[in-house]
Structure 1
Amino acid sequence: MEHEICIQCGAEVRPEEAYHVAEEAVCPSCAETDTVVCSYCGERIWRENDFGDSDTALCEACYTNHYTRCNQCGRLISFSAAYYQDEDEDEETPYCSACYHECGEAIHGYSYKPVPIFHGDAPMYMGVELEVDDGGKDPVKAKKILSIFNQTGEFGYIKSDGSLDDGLELVTHPCTLEAHMREVPWREALERFKALGYYSHQSSTCGLHVHVNRTFFGATQAEQDEKIGHVLYLFERFWQELLRFSRRTQRQVAQWAARYGYKDTGREIMEHAKKAYQGRYTCVNLTNTDTIEFRIFRGTLKYNTLIATLQLVEKLCNVAVSLSEERLQALSWSDIMLGIEPQRYPELVQYLKELRLYINAPVSVECEV
């Protein structure tokens, strides 16, 4: 009787006792230690070529055509058992059932808009959109951020954003400046973003957008248009100073926050803005029903810069509402700086000094993140 030779150990094996991997014979002992059987197609393969796990052996072809792994825990899952986020239309990021139901609601789609929760009591409310990138569109990381951000109240949520390469957008509910400074745990959340590998200023894709309620500018449409026109006038009048404050490059501003163009009065700029529709990618976006959106600012994970930005927005809006068109035209940047109360806006004063935009001597500067 002819015998087959085991490809592994060289032992002679009777044909009826031999196992085969492709065309190569293997003795029973080597078959047990060095091979497995694909759970899907039944073919015997070398153990080192097993693409499955300890419970499910898979050849490469069956794994590629029928299986994937959970993006979070790495667990082997069949295509039919994989879960995907609603915004993951191309199904590029699979999750097992446990990870999906634990973390799946941490990242909402771009169009997600919950019923707003107002924090604080003041005429002006600000909603912040902070974009971060380079740390992953990861629901587990998002959940870690939210566990800090919402630890003492429901202050915000996280959305996906197609303008980001590999990041997230943290969105707050409407808060007064005092609430942002005293209640919202911005400092802790920004530190956690950094610890998880995210960037904002250092990533060219990120912005810091601030929404202000239109009702702050007046009770009627005409009143709102007049005072919002004053805001647009301030932006055109002091464009160079505000561009420096924003930390944006000219190219970034042209792409994400274009200016309307200088005219002699806020009323003329508002009329131009209404006639020449420019969409939402403007320095002050007017397309929202309930808010105007300040889009000029570059993203940041530096606490002082973020709070200073909110303080500047409040200051400019107060100037726009309180002054007449004639007084605005006579206003200088120094006048605005002299009107800043250091006790109310300490972060703003510090930031303005860092950028040499304040009336006093500049100070040392910490790096943006």
Structure 2
Amino acid sequence: MPASTLVEPLCSDCSRPLTATTVTTIEGERLCPDCTTDVGVCHGCDEPTRTLHPTTAATLLCARCVSGWTPCADCADYTRDIRTLLDGRPGRHDRSVCESCVDSYATCDDCGHRTTETFRVEGGDDVCRICCEDDYHECAECYTLISYNDTYCENCSPVEHDAVHSYDYKPSPVFHGDGPLFLGLELEIKTPERRFEDAVDTAVDHIGELAYLKEDSSIHPCGFELVTHPMSHEYARTRFPWQLLNRLRLLGCYTDTDVGIHVHLSRAGFDSPVHIYRWLKFIYRNEIPITTLARRSSSWAVFSKDARSSVIHYAHGDRYADRYEAVNVRPPATFELRIFASSLQPQQVQAALAFAAGSVEYTRRLTPADIARYRGWEWTAFTTWLRGRPEYSPLLAELEDLACAS
């Protein structure tokens, strides 16, 4: 007879023959007594196992008994009562924690959910990221989070006056003087809070029906934007109440780097798309002297490469562009020249209007021969042209003051 081929059972760990005293775990391991030191007993099924999972109920369960439970992302204990924390960041998942750990997280005062982080909003409430991004934004002046329906927080809210209209106020234009070119002046002015009412009353008394006052988010903490109806350059030069600027300065009104002058030029004041092209080309080719004249180089009035290369398209009516270019081409009836720093000095404001009008008239008759033979695009050619035209004398005087008259 052949010898027996039965295999003697061995310990799953040490491979020694098993005795009558063995332990079989729920994972199917058969262990000798020496190899059971790390074997525990599941509190759920009372079966031996090497893998026990702590729970929030202060028990240890095997993998089979813990099925359907969820590990807490904070303490790692398994629980049947999982709580979800909002995260809201792109690419991030909401966080699941147990009932004990959830108490260490704040509750959003808007939606009532627990959240991984909160943001303090005006009034003292704390909101989750999702509610913050959906319903709040920063105050136009400071970093306080306010409702999307508001522009300023309570501390930064500008002083109000019945004669200062909202930022979106736009009455029907009333034209003053003879065209074809009409100019619309937007002059941003800051005032001391205690003199705001006096400044508004003074401005209203002087401008009459020629202009109106508006709010503007760039004017803070207190002030207004003076906006004229369309004027010819001659009318602006001779009929605008220039003494108003000195009166406002005497009241303590001022300008700084936050505010500017914008001049709208009527599209109807150009002869043709070719004329528009010549004018835009002249503006963008002379960035250095023009920003010197404007007394600023601003991110609100950029001389960008894209705008310069798109001049031909703008001349033919393309209005798809960034509004914060040196020339904003988006308005349907005007071009908005945005380059100038604001001022309460009459000569500087007059120079802004004179440059707007003068640059249009200079390029109106500019011929290819002027450009080829006499370097018509160049600043010197323009300033030479100005010298024989006294209606632009404030501009020439300002250029000489700024040492860029040639």
**Superposition TM-score, scaled by structure 2 size:** 0.56
Q: Is the 8 A contact 2:191 2:199 kept in 1?
A: no
Distance 2:164 2:338 in 1: 22
2:304 paired with 1:260: yes
Distance 1:170 1:216 in 2: 23
2:157 paired with 1:115: no
Q: Is the 8 A contact 1:237 1:262 kept in 2?
A: no
More helix by percentage: 1
Matches within 5 A, 1:253-292: 253=298, 255-261=299-305, 267-268=311-312, 270=314, 274=318, 277-292=320-335
Alpha-carbon distance, 1:328 to partner: 4.0
2:199 paired with 1:141: yes
2:250 paired with 1:195: yes
The one-letter code sitting in structure 1 at the alignment partner of 2:265 is V
Alpha-carbon distance, 1:268 to partner: 3.9
The one-letter code sitting in structure 2 at the alignment partner of 1:172 is T
Inter-CA distance 191–279: structure 2 relative to 1 (3 Å threshold): same
2:289 paired with 1:234: no
Inter-CA distance 267–91: structure 2 relative to 1 (3 Å threshold): closer
Distance 2:371 2:214 in 1: 38
Partner of 1:97: none
Distance 2:400 2:229 in 1: 30
Alpha-carbon distance, 1:320 to partner: 2.4
The one-letter code sitting in structure 1 at the alignment partner of 2:169 is Y
Q: Which runs of 5+ in 1 are unaligned?
A: 1-85, 95-99, 360-369
Aligned residues: 252
The one-letter code sitting in structure 2 at the alignment partner of 1:319 is Y
Inter-CA distance 135–342: structure 2 relative to 1 (3 Å threshold): farther
For the aligned residue pairs, the C-alpha RMSD in angstroms reads 3.2
Q: Is the 8 A contact 1:342 1:349 kept in 2?
A: no
Alpha-carbon distance, 1:298 to partner: 0.7
2:262 paired with 1:209: yes
Any idea what the Cα deviations from partners look like across 1:233-281, whole Å, max 9, x if unmatched? 11121111111111003xxx2x110113289988547389948x44211
Matches within 5 A, 1:346-361: 346-359=393-406
The one-letter code sitting in structure 2 at the alignment partner of 1:281 is Y
SS in 2 for 1:248: coil
Q: Which has the higher contact order (CA 8 A, sep 6+)?
A: 1
SS in 2 for 1:208: strand
**Superposition TM-score, scaled by structure 1 size:** 0.61
Distance 1:328 1:263 in 2: 21
Alignment counterpart, residue 356 of structure 2, candidates 313, 335, 348? 313
Alpha-carbon distance, 1:226 to partner: 3.1
Alignment counterpart, residue 178 of structure 1, candidates 208, 231, 234? 234
Distance 2:288 2:316 in 1: 21
Q: Share of identical aligned residues, percent? A: 28
Q: Which runs of 5+ in 2 are unaligned?
A: 1-148
SS in 1 for 2:340: coil
SS in 2 for 1:116: coil
Matches within 5 A, 1:53-202: 104-136=161-193, 138-150=196-208, 154-166=209-221, 167-186=223-242, 188-200=243-255
Distance 2:279 2:154 in 1: 43
Name which one, 1 or 2, has greater alpha-carbon Rg.
2
